[in-house]
A and B are shown apart, each in its own frame.
Chain A
Amino acid sequence: MDIAINTSHSKYQVDKNGYYGRFGGAYIPEMLYPNVEELQQQYLSILSDPAFQQEFEALLHDYVGRPSPLYFAKRLSEKYNAQIYLKREDLNHTGAHKVNNTIGQILLAKRLGKKRIIAETGAGQHGVATATVCALMGLECVVYMGSIDIERQAPNVARMKMLGATVIPATSGSKTLKDATNEAIRDWINNPTDTHYILGTAAGPHPYPDMVARLQSVISEEIKKQLFAKTGDAHPDYVVACIGGGSNAAGAFFHYLDAEDVKLVAVEAGGKGVHSGFSAATTQLGKIGIIHASKTLLMQTEDGQIVEPHSISAGLDYPGIGPMHAHLYESGRAMFLDATDDEALAAAYELSKLEGIIPAMESAHALAKLKDLPLNAADVVVVCLSGRGDKDLDTYIRHMNK
C-alpha cells in the first residue's frame, strides 16, 4: 500500500496552481487564507513522508481492515452478462470508503499541531468516520449535518454521539450537505488557528480535491493488484462509481486516469428524474461557477444562486461535483450517467437478493446503471461498492412496503 505521491504527471490530475483544466482553485475569503495556504504548502510533503505513510498503512491494515476484498459477483454477472466485480468498501470499519480519507487527514492534522477537528456530513458516513478517528486520536470533534439529514440518517447521528462527537444541525438553506459544508467552513473561519477541517469529499478549495483523491486512491491501487491476481489483467473494461462530491469515484478512478482503455463511469443522483426539478445530476443541470470555494460545475439559477438539489440518498444530495470530475466530464475522459431514486432502490433490492449484500443508497446508484452499459460477456466491470446499507434500512423498509 502506498499513497499516490510520485505518480507521473497526468493531464487529469491537479496542476501546480490547484486546477484541473479550467476547474479547481481556492476561492476563499481572506479569513481562511492562512489555513488553506498552510495545507497547500504542506500536504504533499506530509503525505509523502515515510513515517506518515507507515502510520497510514498500518492503520488502514489493522484498524480499517484493508485491503478490502474485490469480490466476483457471480449471480449479478449472470444477470447482466458480464464479469462483474464489487470493490467491497462497505466492509471497511465504519462501513464505507470515507474512513480512508479521515485516517489520512487526522494524521495530517496531528502533524500540523491541530487540537480540534470539524467536518461536514451528508449521509453521516463521513461524520462517523471523522468521529471515529477523533476518538482514536483523542481529539475534539464537531460534525455539521443538515437538519433534514439528521432526521433521515438517525443511526449515524447516534453513532457519532456515541463516539464522542458533537453534532450540530445546519438549519440554513436546504438543510442538507451543501449547508452543512457552509457551516463547517464558517466554523473554520471562526477558529483559525487550532482547528483542522476534515473535508469528506473531493471538493472544496485546493488542496482538498487532490488530497482527498490521493488518500482515496488506495481503492484503485488495490483494484489493480486484486484484478491482476484474479484475471491476469489489472485493467477492467469499466470502473463504475456513484458521485456526489466524488470521493469514492476519485479513489476508484485514480490509478486508471491515464489508462484510456479503461472506461470510467460516474453515476450521479437523478432524483425523481433529471428534469423533474428534484434532481442532483450536476453535469446535466449545472454550469461553471463557484461552490464551496472551488470553481466547478454546479446547479444554479439564472442569477447565480446555488440550487437546492434532491436525492433519496443523503450522500449524493449535493448541487456540485469536485473539480477533478468536472474536468473528467468536460474532457470526455469519464462517462457521466444518472440513476433515479427508483432505479437506485431497485438496484439495492436486487443486490441484496442476488448476492446477499445490502448496499448503501449511494452505492446502489452505481449498481443501477449496469443495465444501461453496453456489456458483452467478456467485459470486466468493477463497481465501487462504496458503503453498506445499514444506515438506509428505514428508507429501504419504507419503500419495500409501497
Chain B
Amino acid sequence: MQNRIDQLFAKKQHGILNIYCTAGFPQLNDTLPVMTALQQHGADIIELGMPFSDPLADGPVIQNSGTIALQNGMSLRVLFEQLQHFRERIHIPVILMGYLNPVLLYGVEAFVKKCAETGIDGIILPDLPMAEYEEVYKPIFEKYNVHLIFLVTPETSDARLRKLDSLSKGFLYAVSSSSTTGKDKDINMQQSYFERLQQMKLSNPVLIGFNIRDKASFDAAAQYANGAIIGTAFIRAIENSKNIDETVRTFIATIK
C-alpha cells in the first residue's frame, strides 16, 4: 500500500492542515477521541506527540502537556495499545513525533515495525542525527514503509537543506524560525526564508511549523508551502476542554 502521506499529497497540494496533539493529554484516554475529532472536523494530518521527560525543542506549553501525559500514565507501550485498532476509524495520515531516547530503548526496528503494524505513516525525531539515520536506520524505515521526516530551519544552509530533502520522506518540516515551539514569533518576518525554500524546488512537499497559531499565520505560511502545522495553540485549546469534539470543531473552524 502506498504510504498515506504520499496519497494525501498526490491529491492535495495546498492548504494542508497538520495538527499536533500530545498522546494521553489532557486525559490518558483522550488520545483516540482527539484524533477522531481532528479527522472529523477537517485536519489533513495528525501529528501525535510521544511525551518525553526532557523535550529540548519544545516550549513550556508542549512541555507541560507531556508532563501531564506522563503523569497520566502514558508510555510507548500504552500508546501502542491505544493505537491497536485506530485504523478502523481513522483514515488520514498519522505521524508520531518524539525524542530519540525512548525509541532507542524500545529498539529502533521494534519501534518502526510496531508503527507499521498499527498504521502509523511517519515519524519525526528531531534529535536523530541525519548521518546516523543515513548510515544505520534508513533501511529499517524503508523496509516497513514508514517515513522519517526531517526538520530544516532558517539557519540551515542550502547544501544541508538539499541533503535533508533527499533523506526526508513524505514531506519536509520547515521550522518557521530558530526557536522552540510556541514562541509567538511573527512568521511574516521569515518571508525571505520561505521564498528561498520555494525557489529551491525541493523534491518533498513542505509544511511550515512552529509559531503557526491562528488563521492569519496559517494562511501566511500556506502561501509559501503546501500547508502548515499547528501545535501549541491546539494544546492550549484542548487543555481545559470539557467537550473534546466541540473544542476541536471550534478550533479548526477558526483556521479553515
Contacts and interface: CB of A to CB of B under 8 A. Distances in A.
A177 to B, nearest CB: 12
B155 A291 contact: no
Contacts of B105: 287, 289, 300, 302-304
Contacts of A28: 127, 129
A173 B67 CA distance: 8
B180 A186 contact: yes
Contacts of A31: 57, 151, 153, 155, 175, 178-180
Nearest to A192: B178
A195 to B, nearest CB: 11
A278 B19 CA distance: 39
Contact of A27 (B59, B100, B106): B100
Nearest to B52: A305
B104 A289 contact: yes
A290 B175 contact: no
Interface stretch (B6-14, B70-78, B226-234): B70-78
B152 interface: yes
Given A29-B126, A290-B127, A304-B105, A190 B53 contact: no
B99 A290 contact: yes
B37 interface: no
A290 B178 CA distance: 22
Interface string A163-194: 00000000011000010001001100110110
A190 B176 CA distance: 12
Contacts of B127: 27-29, 290, 293
A34 B153 CA distance: 10
Nearest to B55: A182
A302 B106 CA distance: 9
Contacts of A305: 52-53, 70, 75, 102
A346 interface: no
A193 B128 CA distance: 22
B150 A30 contact: yes
A293 B56 contact: yes
Contact of B102 (A29, A178, A303): A303
Interface residues of A, number: 32
Nearest to A187: B180
A33 B128 contact: no
A182 B56 contact: yes
A186 B56 contact: yes
Interface string B143-178: 000000011110111001000100000000001001
A305 B103 CA distance: 10
Contact of B54 (A30, A173, A193): A173
B183 interface: yes
A14 interface: no
B155 A33 contact: yes
Contacts of A303: 75-77, 102, 105
B178 A300 contact: no
A193 B154 CA distance: 11
A25 B102 contact: no
Q: Counting chain A CB atoms within 10 Å of each CB, which of B53, B76, B128, B129 scores highest?
A: B53
Given A29-B127, A306-B101, A189 B75 contact: no
A185 B178 CA distance: 12
B101 A291 contact: yes
Interface string A296-312: 00001011111000000
Contacts of B65: none
Given A182-B54, A306-B54, A290 B150 contact: no
A26 B57 contact: no
Contacts of B204: none
Interface string A68-96: 00000000000000000000000000000
Contacts of A293: 56, 127
A304 B129 contact: no
Interface in B89-109: 99-106
B132 interface: yes
Contacts of A306: 53-54, 101
Nearest to B58: A186
Nearest to B74: A303
A30 B152 contact: yes
Nearest to B57: A29
Q: Counting chain A CB atoms within 10 Å of each CB, which of B63, B127, B175 scores highest?
A: B127
Contacts of A190: 178-180, 183
Contacts of B153: 30-31, 33, 192
The 7 closest A-B pairs by CB, nearest first: A304-B102, A304-B105, A29-B126, A303-B75, A192-B178, A305-B53, A30-B151
Given A29-B151, A185-B56, A292-B54, 9 more contacts: A29-B56, A29-B57, A31-B175, A173-B54, A192-B178, A290-B104, A290-B127, A291-B54, A300-B105
8 contacts: A27-B128, A30-B150, A186-B57, A190-B179, A288-B104, A291-B101, A304-B105, A306-B101
Interface of A: 25-31, 33-34, 172-173, 178, 182, 185-186, 189-190, 192-193, 287-293, 300, 302-306
